[in-house]
Amino acid sequence: MKKVLFVGLLFSFSLLGQNKDLFIVEHHKKGNFKKSELQKPKAIFYEDSNYVVTKKCHGEFGGFLTFKKKNTGEEYQCGSACAVIINKLNGKYFVTNTLAHLQGSSEVVEIENPESLEKATPEKDITGFFSPKSRQGTKTILDVYDTLTLASFVFDNNLYHIITDFKKTFLAKIVDGKFKVIQTISEESLWTYDAEPIKTTDNHYLLFLSNNDTRGYIDIFENKITIYSN
């Protein structure tokens, strides 16, 4: 039996006013996808016509992204701990980072031109720690604690985020450097230690959930969010 939930504004975070982009949220008990069938090659984190992007994540010790230019092979890097997804909007790259360590944290970074990042340098062995990568060429548009970001996606030329405060799960936008909640999408905290949505060939975003309380996934397609959980 499915239950359809249309939710308005709420007070847990700073709220937006009347929002025309109301999303449809559905909850189901079962799903049809298997992660093993949909997993993209681990070597590629993001790709467009100009760059192939790979990531490294060392949890609370940091991480970084490497943009490799396709026509020259040149590589550019920036600090990024730990990247969830890259979205391209209005010609710019928006990197969402999140970390479940301690109270949790989220960050969204804007990169206007990957070639403004530092030239790639080899990573040191993690046993001796590694050189933190420069944030040259990036602009931080959000940096918050006590919040995990499960996914970010573009709809109707706007960047949206699915976030949790470890109590409930919300749909949000960034306004003045803070998350502004649009809707509650679950009365429970849906999260995973390894958030990395998979984009399918028909433009769905699938995020698989895995923690002590929840197993399932979230399917994002345009302005519809479907949650499949146990």
Q: Would you say residue 29 lies in a domain?
A: no
> What pLDDT does residue 48 have?
96
Q: Would you say residue 171 lies in a domain?
A: yes
Q: Would you say residue 34 lies in a domain?
A: no
Containing domain of residue 134, as a range? 3-22+41-229
8 Å CB contact between 5 and 27: yes
Low-confidence ranges of the chain (pLDDT < 50): 1-18, 20-21
Q: Would you say residue 33 lies in a domain?
A: no
Bridge partners of residue 181, in order along the sequence: 15, 172
8 Å CB contact between 186 and 169: yes
Q: Report which secondary-structure segment, H or E, holds 205.
A: strand 205-210
Number of domains within the chain: 1
Give the CA distances from residue 183 to residues 150, 163, 197, 198, 200, in Å, rounded to whole numbers and listed in that order.
Answer: 15, 11, 20, 23, 25
Q: Would you say residue 218 lies in a domain?
A: yes
> What pLDDT does residue 32 have?
63
Q: Would you say residue 27 lies in a domain?
A: no
Q: Would you say residue 220 lies in a domain?
A: yes
Express each pLDDT in 164-175 by its tens digit: 998 999 999 999
Q: Would you say residue 31 lies in a domain?
A: no
Amino acid symbol at 62 = G
> What pLDDT does residue 91 have?
96
Q: Any alpha helices (H) in the chain, and if so which ranges?
A: 35-38
Whole-structure pTM value? 0.85
